[in-house]
Amino acid sequence: MFGWEFPPYNSGGLGVACLGLTKALSELGVEVIFVMPKKLDIKTPWARIVFADDARIDVRAVNSMLKPYVTSRSYTRDGGIYADDLLGEVRRYAALGGAIAREEQFDVIYAHDWLSFGAGIEAKRATGKPLIVHVHATEFDRCGGPSGINREVYEIEKEGMEQADVVIAVSELTKNIIVREYGIRPEKVRVVYNGIDEGTAPSSGGSLPRLRSLKASGYRLVLFLGRVTLQKGPDHFLRAAKRVLDRNPHVLFILSGAGDMDDQVMRLAAELGIGGHVFFTGFLHGADRHEVYKAADLFVMPSVSEPFGITALEAMKLGTPVLISKQSGVAEVVKHALKVDFWDVDEMANKILSVVGYPGLRQALAENAAREAEYLTWAQAAQKVNGIVHELVQ
């Protein structure tokens, strides 16, 4: 299995998905060799942190400078030189992928997202084994639409999907993009929704004491947590915040995460005159992340285009009501959530104000969301993947 990030060294949902899926697959008796590019010497920490108690997963590290979640803008804005380097890395990872495949014993090749597709294709070329590509996001999602997509990235994605024996999409939404934009036959594309596992509650870091004191003084907390990029819609979040605060000043907005729109959203908060009610926390890990989810009265995921949106499940699992964009894969599977079109800032504000103002709504959402999240597991996803693997092996 070719990936590119893994907890705790992950910056988004992909690493979480790889961990959840590999773990659940191993519980079904599937042996997973997880290959990833990483310039750090990760041998010891990976084995210790992630797989210490699970000998069936073997981590192979490939030296690389790849960064997950680079957007097309960030790797093209430096005049294309960086882009050349990145694509060079992708090619190098691909070549190494072929070499590793020749050394290992396995039945099926599995590649997560475009940076590892090349490695998957090379492995298939080297061994003739069937290839599954798992699409967690497409270039269209990362760019928030068809304008400004990077053609080379698109071509790599397209080739990976074409060479694959089966394409796994994280939602119908993503499947539609794969069929429409990449010309893949719909019969070849299967939808496997992400899951969420029983999280071990991190020991309370207590690094966000201010949140608790603000809550105690009668404020309601509304949380955005995700990369601060066009795709995730942080600007829509702030515009809704403005509408909310015009009506109810006892609400605070937490914008948690980092990304290429950091400066832009801070400027926007100031322009809207709501700077005093918006807190920028930067990227949160472990206990802090857990705490901010729990402290929030509402988690908002206003994504412009969200192939799945695992953060919504994380919040639900902790009993936090969620408001999610209808342009998200998770909205296809989750019922006990408020939903809104990302562009409908008025409706977003209406729903935020309702959650803030009506305790019955908060309580019903919290109870039902936590219960619903119990059923959306990685075990379920792994079972579907395992079925596909067995089809290919026979």
Asked if 335 touches another protein (CB under 8 A), the answer is: yes
Asked if 339 touches another protein (CB under 8 A), the answer is: yes
Among 372, 379, 383, 386, indicate the residue that binds another protein (CB under 8 A): 372
Return the range that interacts with another protein (CB under 8 A); candidates 79-87, 135-143, 267-275, 331-339: 331-339
Least distance (Å) from another protein to the CB of residue 333?
A: 10
For another protein, give the closer residue by CB, 262 or 372: 372
Each residue 209-248 as x (binds another protein by CB under 8 A) or -, in order, gives: ----------------------------------x---x-
∠ CA(96), CA(101), CA(106), 5° rounding? 155
For another protein, give the closer residue by CB, 36 or 313: 313
Q: Give the residues across from 231 on adjacent strands.
A: none
Contact 83, 152 (CB under 8 A): yes
Asked if 48 touches another protein (CB under 8 A), the answer is: no
Residue 266 — left, alpha, or beta (φ > 0 → left; ψ -120 to 50 → alpha)? alpha
Least distance (Å) from another protein to the CB of residue 232?
A: 23
∠ CA(306), CA(312), CA(317), 5° rounding? 155
Asked if 319 touches another protein (CB under 8 A), the answer is: no
Among 347, 379, 380, 392, indicate the residue that binds another protein (CB under 8 A): 347
For residues 162-178, one letter each, b for 16 or more C-beta atoms within 10 angstroms of the residue's C-beta and e for the rest, the string is: ebbbbbbbbbebbbebb
Return the range that interacts with another protein (CB under 8 A); candidates 89-97, 174-182, 273-281, 353-361: 353-361
Return the range that interacts with another protein (CB under 8 A); candidates 96-104, 136-144, 163-171, 354-362: 354-362
Tokens read off for 144: 């928030």
Contact 168, 385 (CB under 8 A): yes
Asked if 172 touches another protein (CB under 8 A), the answer is: no
Asked if 250 touches another protein (CB under 8 A), the answer is: no
- The type of residue at 311 is T
For another protein, give the closer residue by CB, 115 or 222: 222
Among 107, 367, 374, 391, indicate the residue that binds another protein (CB under 8 A): 367
By DSSP bridging, strand 57-62 and strand 109-112 are unpaired
Among 359, 387, 391, 393, indicate the residue that binds another protein (CB under 8 A): 359
Among 225, 278, 351, 388, indicate the residue that binds another protein (CB under 8 A): 351
Residue 144 to residues 66, 179, 231, 325, 330, Cα–Cα distance (Å): 22, 18, 5, 13, 17
Asked if 255 touches another protein (CB under 8 A), the answer is: no
C-alpha 253/C-alpha 270 separation (Å) is 13
Asked if 353 touches another protein (CB under 8 A), the answer is: yes
Please report, for the chain, how many H helices and E strands are present, in that order: 17, 12
CA-closest candidate to residue 112, choices 11, 21, 23: 21
Least distance (Å) from another protein to the CB of residue 338?
A: 6
- Measured N-to-C along each axis, helices 359-375 and 345-357 cross at an angle, to the nearest 10 degrees, of 100
For another protein, give the closer residue by CB, 258 or 361: 361
By DSSP bridging, strand 251-256 and strand 189-191 are unpaired
Interface residue list for another protein (CB under 8 A): 243, 247, 335-336, 338-339, 346-347, 349-351, 353-354, 357-361, 363-365, 367-368, 372
